Chain A
Amino acid sequence: MITVTINGKDIKLEKPVTILEAARTAGIEIPTLCYHESLELYGGCRLCLVEVEKMPKLQTACTLYVTDGMVVRTESEQIADARRGILEFLLINHPLDCPYCDKAGECDLQDLVEKYGPTAGRFAEGKRKHPESFDDPIIVRNMERCVMCTRCVRMCDGVQGDSAIAVTNRGSHSFIEPFSGGRYNCEYCGNCLTVCPVGAIMSRLHRHSYRAWLVETEVNTVCSYCGVGCSMVIQVRNNSINRVVPRFGLGINNGLLCVRGRFGYDYVGNEQRIKSPLVKKGGKLEPVTWNEAFNTVADRLKALRERYGGSALAGIASGRCTNEENYVFQKLMRCGLGTNNIDSSARLGYSGAQRYLENIFGQGVTANPIYGIANSEAILIVGGDPTAINPILGLQIRTASRNGARVITIGYAPGLERFNSIGLKPRIFTEGILLSGILCEILKIKPFTGENQTLESVIKGLSLRPAREIAEICRLAEDDIRKAAEAICNVSSISIVIGQDIIQRSNGNRNLFMLSSIGYMLNARMTLLSERPNEQGTIDMGCLPDMLPGGRPLEIETFRKRYEGLAGTEIPSGPGLTLMEMVEAAEAGQIKAMYIMGENPVFNLPDSNAVKKALGSLEFLVVQDIFLSETAKIADVVLPALAWSEKEGTYTNLERRMQHVRRAVDIQGMEDWRIISEIGKRLEVSMPYNSSEDIMAEMVRVSPLHTGLTYEDVDKGNALWPYKGEPLRAEMPSLSLSDENIIADKGKLYLMVRRPLFHSGTLSRRSYALNNICSEPYLRISRAVAERLSVKDGDVLKVSTVKGSLQVKTKVDISLNDSAVLLTNNFEGMGAFSLLGYKLDPVTKAPGIEGTEVTIEKGKPR
């Protein structure tokens, strides 16, 4: 026990901390500029000088660790003089432009000068000039205001791991600049903005649009982009969003955000938002009243159900809508329309994979805290770049790497290239074979435990190839495969992070089996990357063709009866169709009508031209969205919903944590749940809801996973898996396993989907900020391909597959496999899915999009 006396107050400490931390535990504030609790210590600003007895000089409180019996004073005349002196130094070259600096009112320098002085300047020379830099579309740098605390640099280097900015020059000529010069070439996380204590690095998005003290309300909410579910504060004035900021100490992201979360919120204010319900009249969508729209939808659906039966109707729920909305949606489909044809885009990877893993390990196997990844000793990453798909989760991996964890990446993960200890890039589409090779090596080291006999017998029944053979197939060094296996074998805390690329295979279940086996042998934690904020919610709320809310299988009668009893209606007992099956059934004329909430299948599903044709042939299509998406354009009725910042509800993130999404601004319009319940009422479904909380109250009675859960619990952070409820303990069903599938790649190129950091699709392309950061898609090609075609960055290429062709600019990507070319699926008319065919995985029912050959040739400049 250490006792330290600060300002006459005795403070007892378990372990030595700095004077600054000790003072803060006792509520004593010591002024700082360069210190930040999330960053490496620096000791540069010298504002935290304090008096320590028996030490002749003033000491910096942020760097000096307390010792037993130390006596410290944090305020005295000498200290005030010293701080005033330091502040005077900071001000001599400062432009003193507070009247038009956006930081005024929340500027640490301003506050400190107000407290300590000086009140007048003595600096008679000309100030250092450094013109404000507007070279970047988002971030504006004013190096005259900079106090050289280097928080931004330490954030970029030590936390974000992007190393994009640095101090340039020396001494009083120092300034902060991106390595790329004026414009940033970085991940645009904007975390440098958060930590800048002055107005030196600021966002242009809200430049001169507000003063800190004019923010009217601050709303704590959760980001709307990906499955991590970062906490953020929306600052509102005049019923519009001024900006979105993270808070240190709040949420799983603890003060950090990624580019989408920080800058991408502005889509909600886009003028392309649908303002009124639309009904197709004479081949054209015409604005109508809400009542007319509701009646049209209810009447048509009712008539189609009567004519064709419930099995001819289908609904697509949304990982972008709240739990409450998804709950109401499945209720409408099941109870109002008598169909189990309910699915969501989680089917593209997340839900099928989760089900597969849960069949082996039990429900909730992927419910692992994100922070656990940072504490892992080894991490295996397969099938995606977490730093792009779930950026804040990706940072956990970078942190683990800095802490000495072994990070092993398989496949394309450029954001981790500086952080992995082993980066395996197997030949295209052979990740699963590589995994079997790693499993084979692990089996040599680790014994079976007998815990899961069924799984073990399947593993024993595999005919696994030796590493030498695997190395040959995957075109890797045999030694690397062995090293990778050893690296994850010899530690006790292991995380496996699984991305969609490996699930979207026609034999994706085989890949998942290999990962499960590795996970089983090593007792690893599994995490599935998730592209949408509430994919987990669609699953938990029963937006699945074979599952009721709470993860209860429809086919088990007792669960079905319970559901029917609570709903007061009978529902069909057989499972419905999955997402891609619905589309196929629509094409075959078996599905006659579809209700799509918050999803854009015409763009977001593989073979999207065929999807468009299939949905176009429906007798009736309802689309509920905030934008007139590709799908909404071909709908019979379009219902304008509210965006994430305009409604209340909950999201469940990929670690199965429920979080509260709060209304920040009011606009005229209707929440998805309100729209559905209006239609539900017309279809005689009981939907007596006045608020999202009413839905929650009903849902927790229906879902055994959420028994008795309230918004209060959610707000307290008590809504972690299994959300106060009971998971289902079921026997593991027998495992069927697809065969290996080696695709000959001699000299051929294959198109794959790139999942980028800067865009998500329908929403992000309506964000002014994200479009400025990244305004168009690029076809990513390897250096070898670029050389073969003699093309360079920016050249326009014509990309063709059997499904179609398009012209797109190219970018050489040194991380890329020589047989792969990558295209994103984010930009209108330029989506990779329009060029890709698919074949369903028989187990997960995810579309396998591998093996689409592509030809590229020089196109004509656009």
Chain B
Amino acid sequence: METILLKNIENPNSADIDEYIKAGGYRSLQKAIEMQPKAIIDEVKKSGLRGRGGAGFPTGMKWTFASSDPKTPRYLLCNADEGEPGTFKDRPILEKNPHLLIEGMAIAGYAIGAEYGYIYLRGEYPGAKDILDTAIRQAYDRGLLGDNILGRAVRFHLSVHQGAGAYICGEETALIESLEGERGQPRIKPPFPVNVGAWSKPTVINNVETLSNIPYIIETGAEAYSKIGSRDCPGPKLYCVSGHVERPGVYELPMGINLRDIIYTHAGGIRGGEKLKAVIPGGVSTPILPPDKIDCPMDFVNMPKHGSMLGSGAVMVFDDTVCLVKVCYRALRFFDHESCGKCTPCREGTGWLSNILGRIEHGKGRDGDIELLLDVAGNMLGKTFCPLGDGAASVVQNFIRHFRPEFEGHIRDAGCRLQN
């Protein structure tokens, strides 16, 4: 398959603007600014592109909402706060193909009438910061960003804002708060950012991967694009495979590819020929799947029907040697550490769950602890301010749903058999 998002990344100088242009880069921007903004949005709508951050919201719709809000200025934010454990799909774009993102943002900015764009970059990507800064400077020098893009009266300014290491700032409204210099905590929705976003102005927030799809859509047209991948969610998708596979890494594959194929065909199967124990298909917040449930098309529409979610496409593979109680405990420690503290159930619940899991993992589990875990998770689920708390609660519920005997064994045996 032709690579679109990871095009040219084997080239060691792929981040350089000349190499990018040589490979056909910035032609889409040229084409786009000769189009009417509305025509661009229509094209994106027609393409069926859905947000790649995890929620799968139709991108064209988001753009329509923001561009039809009369308040100005409007803002375009790129969510590059790639913090979901197991997720590293945006990194190759940020580090190897930054001009693809910049081009996508310039087109998007023109389409929605935003003159200012920010890339909210996760604090743990200092390398990407330098690369993006260089790339943005190159784009300014070539007249691809700035006050008169490609000599026309089109204005789009872009800069990178570095996060400070908070997972919650990947949530779009917390990202806005953080960008504005406030404490990173989600805002009440509605109003949604498309109407009241950064500095209370209409704001589009798209994921790195989403924006990187735009140049291709403009260049080849919505129709060609929509033929890639699944019918309901077309396009290429980056899957980042980690854990016990032969070839971990980022794979660009059509949306809707079978999870089993990703693991066994593309990532080379389970490392050392061991037995598969479980897969988390879309980042740690998405429900874990046992080996008999991995024949599922990896897209936003089909994964829920198979008991999980596409999430960020972060496939985490666990072989037989892994203690899933420990995985669950580590996940909850992560959520406890990253809970922003705004709402009661998440602030207190993640810590409590992590406490209970810790004692089970450390051989101090008690009878009734599993019921307590489920009860506490139930008291969180559906009652938290944002999906962070829901994610934490559902991790516990799903681990126990599929692997309850392992938890029971830990309590019964006062510890982990696998590790002792």
Contacts and interface: CB of A to CB of B under 8 A. Distances in A.
A86 B345 CA distance: 6
Given A92-B348, A167-B183, A172 B383 contact: no
A170 B341 contact: yes
A172 B336 contact: yes
A81 to B, nearest CB: 8
Contacts of B166: 170
Interface in B239-262: none
Interface stretch (B52-60, B80-88, B154-162, B350-358): B350-358
A123 interface: yes
A90 interface: yes
A89 B338 CA distance: 17
Interface in A21-73: 41-47, 49, 57-58, 63
A170 B340 contact: yes
Contact of A93 (B340, B348, B359, B385): B348
Contacts of B337: 170-171
Contact of A46 (B188, B339, B345): B345
A85 interface: yes
Interface in B330-376: 336-345, 347-352, 355, 359, 366, 372
Contacts of B372: 122
Given A122-B372, A123-B352, A171-B337, A148 B344 contact: yes
A548 to B, nearest CB: 56
A82 B183 CA distance: 28
A841 interface: no
A89 B183 contact: no
Interface in A74-133: 82, 85-86, 88-90, 92-93, 122-125
Contacts of A43: 188, 343, 385
Chain B, interface SS category: helix
Given A44-B385, A63-B188, A89-B379, A174 B341 contact: yes
A147 interface: yes
Contact of A174 (B338, B347, B349, B359): B347
Interface in B269-304: none
A695 B340 CA distance: 61
A166 interface: yes
Contacts of A47: 344
B344 A90 contact: yes
Given A49-B383, A123-B352, A172-B350, A86 B344 contact: yes
Given A170-B166, A172-B336, A85 B345 contact: yes
Interface in A170-203: 170-174
Contacts of A124: 366
A148 B339 CA distance: 13
Nearest to B346: A171
Contacts of B355: 125
A58 B382 contact: yes
B312 interface: no
Interface in A134-159: 147-148
Contact of B352 (A46, A49, A92): A92
A122 B382 CA distance: 21
A85 B355 CA distance: 17
Nearest to B382: A57
B67 interface: no
B347 A172 contact: yes
Contacts of B378: 85
A169 B352 CA distance: 18
Contacts of A46: 343-345, 383-385
Most chain A Cβ neighbours within 10 Å, of B341, B348, B351: B348
Contacts of B349: 89
Contacts of B379: 82, 85-86, 88-89
Contact of A171 (B188, B351, B359, B382): B351
Contacts of A93: 348
Interface of A: 41-47, 49, 57-58, 63, 82, 85-86, 88-90, 92-93, 122-125, 147-148, 166-167, 169-174
Q: 10 nearest interchain CB pairs?
A: A85-B379, A89-B348, A174-B341, A171-B339, A172-B351, A57-B382, A171-B341, A125-B355, A44-B342, A63-B188
13 contacts: A43-B343, A86-B345, A89-B349, A92-B348, A93-B348, A124-B366, A125-B359, A147-B344, A167-B341, A170-B339, A170-B340, A171-B336, A172-B336
Given A45-B343, A171-B336, 10 more contacts: A44-B343, A86-B379, A89-B344, A125-B352, A166-B183, A170-B337, A170-B339, A171-B338, A171-B339, A171-B351
